[in-house]
């Protein structure tokens, strides 16, 4: 069996930046380092940070010391103000691409536009974006959501940065048909676009796909859904212990990709285990 590793598997720019910011602080000897919420959606990375003494803050206290790091997904502006009011040093590791979406929403809100966010209602990034839209913000993630959508003035449409491109296009068209004249910003990030397109191509080349990433990672889940929608058998795994040799016996060619918060060392280990399982070589995909 051949193992084909996707070229764009693993850490995206925003996640790498957030992890490096945190590790830099550890190296500098900052005494108390906390992240507001999990820094990224990957259990192995979170465990590594915990070993380095980085703790996770779940509630904003009245007072705090040391450094508090804002995760790559960003947070609502009111929460940022409350963190700053604790007295701790606040290090904002929000991904620049998420900051850009926050700025688009804030600017249009000031100009009287409502915001429709195409994204997962409970995802941290979307919660942050909603904070910038205030009570003019609405989230849709399905045709039923669009059918229930109520707007009564100028509006903009933005996307969660890791949204499925095709779903975004479909829902955006439905919204414009229902309420013509909206201004649309496709804010899906380039890294997501490449990763998703690569999965579509990879599925034409392999018999099944292994998607590596945290169970709570929305962008990892989305890669699996895209492959499944194309009829490609999918194995969602967090680490090599999730690989069951029996399940792979019937395949001659397997693809491997990973979510934006999956570290390289986990991906390499998966590829290694699959290779040892099959005693065949891997081949790097040259798809994008």
Task: Give the list of residues 6+ apart from residue 155 with CB closer than 8 angstroms, or none.
Answer: 113, 114, 115, 116, 179, 182, 183
Cβ-contact 4, 283 below 8 angstroms: yes
Is residue 258 classed as helix, strand or coil in its secondary structure?
A: strand
Minimum distance from residue 170 beta carbon to ligand SF4 (Å): 21
Q: What is the rounded CA–CA span in Å between residue 130 and residue 121?
A: 9
The DSSP output letter for 241 is: G
Closest CB to ligand SF4 among 74 and 255? 74
Give the angle subtended at the CA of 242 by the CAs of 279 and 52, to the nearest 5°. Answer: 110
Closest CB to ligand SF4 among 129 and 206? 129
Q: Which residues are 287's β-sheet partners?
A: none
Active-site residue among 50, 79, 84, 125? 125
Q: Report which of 182, 45, 42, 184 is spatially closest to residue 104, judged by C-alpha positions.
A: 184
Closest CB to ligand SF4 among 86 and 216? 216
Closest CB to ligand SF4 among 138 and 220? 220
Minimum distance from residue 99 beta carbon to ligand SF4 (Å): 9
The DSSP output letter for 49 is: H
Minimum distance from residue 180 beta carbon to ligand SF4 (Å): 29
Minimum distance from residue 15 beta carbon to ligand SF4 (Å): 5
Cβ-contact 196, 224 below 8 angstroms: no
* Distance set, CA 274 to CA 215, 224, 270 (Å): 20, 18, 6
Beta strand 183-184 pairing with 155-159: parallel
Minimum distance from residue 37 beta carbon to ligand SF4 (Å): 14
If you count DSSP H runs as helices and E runs as strands, how many of each does the chain have, helices first? 11, 13
Sign of CA dihedral 45, 50, 53, 58: positive
Minimum distance from residue 26 beta carbon to ligand SF4 (Å): 21
Cβ-contact 195, 223 below 8 angstroms: yes
Is residue 14 classed as helix, strand or coil in its secondary structure?
A: helix
The answer to whether residue 125 is catalytic is yes
> Binding residues for ligand SF4, per CB under 6 A?
12-15, 72, 95, 97-98, 161-162, 189, 191-192, 260
CA-only gyration radius of the chain, Å: 20
Closest CB to ligand SF4 among 80 and 179? 80
Closest CB to ligand SF4 among 39 and 189? 189
Instruction: Tell me the catalytic residues.
Output: 125
């Amino acid at each position: 069996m051949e193992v084909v590793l996707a070229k764009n598997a693993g850490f995206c720019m925003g996640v790498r930046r957030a992890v490096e910011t945190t590790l830099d602080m550890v190296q500098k000897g900052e005494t108390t380092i906390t992240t507001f919420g999990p820094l990224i959606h990957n259990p192995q990375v979170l465990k590594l940070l915990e070993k380095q003494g980085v703790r996770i803050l779940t509630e904003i206290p009245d007072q705090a010391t040391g450094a508090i790091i804002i995760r790559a997904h960003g947070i609502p502006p009111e929460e940022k103000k409350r963190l700053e009011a604790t007295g701790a040093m606040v290090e904002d590791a929000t991904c620049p691409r998420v900051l850009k979406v926050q700025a688009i929403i804030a600017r249009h809100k000031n100009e009287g536009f409502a915001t429709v966010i195409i994204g997962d209602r409970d995802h941290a990034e979307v919660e942050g974006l909603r904070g910038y839209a205030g009570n003019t913000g609405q989230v849709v993630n399905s045709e039923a959501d669009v059918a229930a959508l109520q707007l009564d003035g100028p509006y903009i449409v933005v996307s969660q940065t890791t949204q499925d491109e095709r779903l975004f296009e479909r829902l955006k068209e439905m919204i414009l048909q229902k309420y013509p004249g909206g201004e649309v910003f496709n804010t899906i990030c380039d890294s997501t676009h490449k990763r998703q397109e690569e999965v579509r191509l990879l599925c034409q080349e392999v018999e099944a796909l292994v998607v590596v990433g945290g169970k709570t990672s929305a962008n990892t889940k989305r890669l699996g859904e895209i492959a499944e929608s194309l009829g490609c058998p999918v194995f969602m795994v967090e680490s090599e212990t999730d690989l069951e040799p029996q399940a792979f016996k019937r395949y001659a060619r397997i693809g491997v990709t990973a979510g934006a918060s999956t570290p390289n060392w986990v991906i390499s280990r998966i590829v290694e285990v699959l290779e040892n399982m099959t005693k065949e070589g891997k081949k790097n995909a040259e798809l994008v």
